[in-house]
Amino acid sequence: MIHVGLEHYLTVSILLFCLGLLGTITRRSLLVIYMSLELMLNAANLALVSFSRFNKSLDGQVMVFFIVTVAAAEVAVGLALIVALYRKRQTAHVEDLTTMKL
């Protein structure tokens, strides 16, 4: 077995990103789509942290710090949107949400 290097971490990150992408395009529930988006953000975080580690620079970690903060804000706004949508339409399922107008 070869020693674990940058490419191994990047592979995990890519696979996780692709899982998130798969969930985003195939699942039909808005909440699960939202969780898949979080998965993709986390995959990007992993790639940034491993770049930061193997390039002896902390800039990547600072970037991850900002991404986590923005992701938390994004989750709050997105879930508020989903709740508002649910109140209006009684569904959180993308197949029932085919019109732009509420």
Partner 1 sequence: MTTADIFFYLFAFLTLLCGLLVVANPLSRNPVTSAMFLVLTIVSMAGLFVQLHAFFLASVQIVVYAGAVMVLFLFVIMLLNVREEERRRVKVLSAGLGIVSVGAIALIAVKAVFEAHPSSGLETPVLEGTTVNLGRLLFTQYLLPFELVSLVLLVAMIGVILLSKKDLR
- Residues numbered 30-69 forming contacts with partner 1, rule: CB under 8 A: 31-32, 34-36, 38-39, 42, 45-46, 49-50, 52-56, 58-59, 61-62, 64-66, 68-69
How far is 98 from 75, CA to CA, in rounded Å?
Answer: 23
**Residue 22 sits in the site that holds partner 1 (CB under 8 A):** yes
**Residue 12 sits in the site that holds partner 1 (CB under 8 A):** yes
Shortest separation between residue 101's beta carbon and partner 1, angstroms = 13
**Residue 27 sits in the site that holds partner 1 (CB under 8 A):** yes
**Residue 101 sits in the site that holds partner 1 (CB under 8 A):** no
How far is 5 from 82, CA to CA, in rounded Å?
Answer: 40
Both tokens of 73, joined, read 């804000």
How far is 23 from 25, CA to CA, in rounded Å?
Answer: 6
**Residue 18 sits in the site that holds partner 1 (CB under 8 A):** yes
Both tokens of 50, joined, read 């491993």
Task: Select from 44, 73, 100, 101 the one that contacts partner 1 (CB under 8 A).
Answer: 73
**Residue 87 sits in the site that holds partner 1 (CB under 8 A):** yes
Extended beta strands in the chain, E state: none
Please give the distance of CA 93 from its chain centroid, rounded to a whole number. Answer: 19
